[in-house]
């Protein structure tokens, strides 16, 4: 049932057993699983491989370092079988290019050019278009966009063409999955609204219904 799914569940928790339990329950409702540093720091990078056996894994490491460090982080994610990885772009094209080169077509590379929290407007927003342009030159596969800001999704879509857009900030941060998809997102990333729900499966199904109602 993977085909056509637009929901990526963000398992931003420490408990690896709980992460796998949730993933198994909702695997037929999702396209992929997003992991961040909490679950990897608590369980080791092997959790990426374990979750990859359930659904594709997007490593939300928001890499932001010198090229060699970016390369090493990317290499490990690739070794563990990740489907994709998220990198910042503000550190410069050489750093982003290192992520893309190490991915070698085996992982999708998503560039962060906007974020879903208010603080991003302080420094990132004024440079957003320049970061989009630089990311396109580098050859990224997609962008991370704020699912709680539909006009920004539409703006990035216009610049990104056919590249993938994954929208964060759905649910707990106020974004609506259906409206984010209608604005141009290919995927919606949802965390707390699912993993904190009494029934993660019911919550995932509700989000998929929300997406369907807007299409």
Q: Which of 170, 128, 127 is nearest to 147 (CA)?
A: 170
Q: Which of 47, 44, 43 is nearest to 33 (CA)?
A: 47
Say how many C-beta atoms besides its own lie within 10 A of residue 40's C-beta.
21
15, 31, 105, 128, 193 from 74: Cα distances, Å: 23, 21, 12, 23, 29
84, 204, 208 from 28: Cα distances, Å: 19, 10, 11
For residues 215 and 209, what is the distance between their CA atoms, to the nearest angstrom?
A: 10
Task: Give burial (CB, 10 Å; 0-12/13-18/19+) of 75.
Answer: middle
* 62 in catalytic set: yes
186-205 burial: b if 16+ Cβ within 10 Å, else e = bbbbbbebbbeeeebeebbe
Of 62, 78, 108, 179, catalytic? 62
User: Which residues belong to the active site?
Assistant: 62
């Amino acid at each position: 049932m993977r085909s056509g799914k637009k929901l990526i569940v963000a398992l931003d928790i420490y408990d690896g057993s709980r992460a796998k339990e949730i993933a198994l329950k909702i695997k037929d409702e999702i396209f992929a699983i997003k992991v961040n540093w909490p679950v990897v720091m608590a369980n080791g990078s092997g959790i990426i491989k374990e979750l990859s056996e359930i659904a594709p894994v997007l490593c939300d490491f928001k890499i932001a370092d010198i090229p060699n460090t970016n390369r090493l982080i990317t290499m490990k994610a690739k070794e563990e079988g990740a489907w994709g990885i998220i990198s910042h772009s503000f550190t410069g094209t050489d750093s982003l290019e290192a992520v893309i080169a190490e991915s070698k077509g085996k992982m999708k590379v998503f560039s962060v050019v906007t974020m879903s929290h208010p603080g991003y407007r302080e420094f990132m927003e004024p440079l957003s278009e320049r970061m989009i342009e630089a990311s396109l030159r580098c050859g990224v596969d997609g962008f991370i966009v704020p699912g709680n800001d539909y006009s920004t999704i539409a703006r990035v879509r216009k610049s990104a063409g056919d590249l993938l857009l994954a929208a964060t900030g759905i649910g707990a941060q106020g974004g609506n999955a259906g409206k984010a998809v209608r604005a141009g997102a290919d995927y919606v990333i949802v965390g707390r609204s699912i993993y904190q729900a009494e029934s993660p499966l019911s919550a995932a199904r509700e989000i998929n219904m929300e997406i369907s109602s807007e299409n």
